[in-house]
Amino acid sequence: MTTITIQVNGKQLATEPDKTILEVCRANDIEILTMCHLKGVMDVGACRLCLVEIEGINKLLSACTTKVAANMVIRTDTERIKKYQRITTELFFAERNHVCSVCVANGKCELQQLGYKVGMDHIRYPFLYPKCELDSSHAWYVIDHNRCIMCTRCVRVCNEVEGAHNWDVMNRGTQVRVISDFNSPWGESVTCTSCGKCVHACPTGAIWPKAIVQGQLEKKPGIINELVEKRKMKL
């Protein structure tokens, strides 16, 4: 097995090629913020939180989709990156109706944690207050679009791991919505297997099981990768 060296924030790291910058950094305890990344499903580079500076490349690249190359010099902690992470976080909160105090995911929400991590003490942009629906037609689960950040982790886990493809995305711009089948109520879905993977994949309080009260939600996003790895072993 070949080994290459890369430099991250001034530190030399030895790694195998064919890994993403994110994988290498996480394996070496270098923190990179993410929202749309979920171990076990394909990366899409959509949340733009994991952007890193790479010497010799004038664009910021997403760590989750960029593979390491020999002698790459990477910075994850510049002022510019921190500033952009903060703006992205604020835009997440301003886009839809994230009211933590009444949210089932309060205290266990990845978006909330992100806000703490980037030191967001207030939001400088006007809240958009879109009118979003809440669909509780499914027997066990609820999807609340007010809390959705369009990370599409549910879409990918349903398609790639469960193989059901119940979830997809419709519309453009800020009108985008995660939809069940061809935009029918979740309870009427003919593809949903009620497996509940999307519940665990969702980083916020957008998808949750019924009979849960404020702050009581327990999510295990790690379960997705566990499943994927176990299947590989079986094969």
Partner 1 sequence: MNRQDLQLLTDQAKEKKNSCKHTICVCCGASCISSGSEEVLKKLEEEIKSRGLENEVAVIPTGCMGPCNQGPLVKYMPENTIYQKVDCDNIARVVQSQLIDKKPIEDLLLFADSREKPFLNAEEDPFFKKQLKVALLDCGDINPETIEDYFTRDGYKALSDVLFRMSPEDVIAEIKHSRIRGRGGAGYPTGMKWETVYKYVSDQKYVICNGDEGDPGAFMDRSVLEGNPHRVLEGMAIAGYAVGASKGYAYIRGEYPLAIKRFELAIKQARKNGLIGNNILGTNFSFDVDVRIGAGAFVCGEETALIASIEGKRGTPKPRPPFPAESGLWGHPTLINNVETFAGIVPILNKGGEWYSEIGTPKSAGTKVFALAGKINYSGLIEVPMGTTLREIVFDIGGGIQGGGTFKAAQTGGPSGGCIPAEHLDVKMDYEALVNLGSIMGSGGLIVMDQQSDMVDVARYFMEFCMDESCGKCVPCRVGTKMMHDLLHKICAGNGTRIDLDRLEELAVYVKETSLCGLGGSAPNPLLSTLRHFRQEYESRITTPGVKKELQPQS
* Residue 45 token pair: 């580079």
Give the interface segment with partner 1, choosing from 124-132, 193-201, 213-221, 223-231 (CB under 8 A).
124-132
Interface map 18-47 toward partner 1 (x if CB under 8 A): --------------------------xxxx
The one-character DSSP state at 140 is S
Backbone angles phi, psi at 12, to 5 degrees: -80, 135
The residue written with tokens 């733009």 in the block is: 48
Q: Enumerate the β-bridge partners of residue 15.
A: 4
* Residue 132 token pair: 């979003």
Which amino acid belongs to residue 114?
L
State which of residues 28, 78, 174, 184 lies at the interface with partner 1 (CB under 8 A): 174
* Residue 142 token pair: 């609820």
The one-character DSSP state at 198 is H
Does the footprint of partner 1 cover residue 132 (CB under 8 A)? no
Nearer to partner 1, 141 or 166 (CB): 166
Greatest CA separation found in the chain?
Answer: 54
Which residues in the 63-122 window bind partner 1 by CB under 8 A? 65-67, 80, 83-84, 87-88, 91-92, 94-95
Query: Applying CB under 8 A, which residues contact partner 1?
Result: 44-48, 51, 59-62, 65-67, 80, 83-84, 87-88, 91-92, 94-95, 124-126, 128, 149-150, 168-169, 171-176
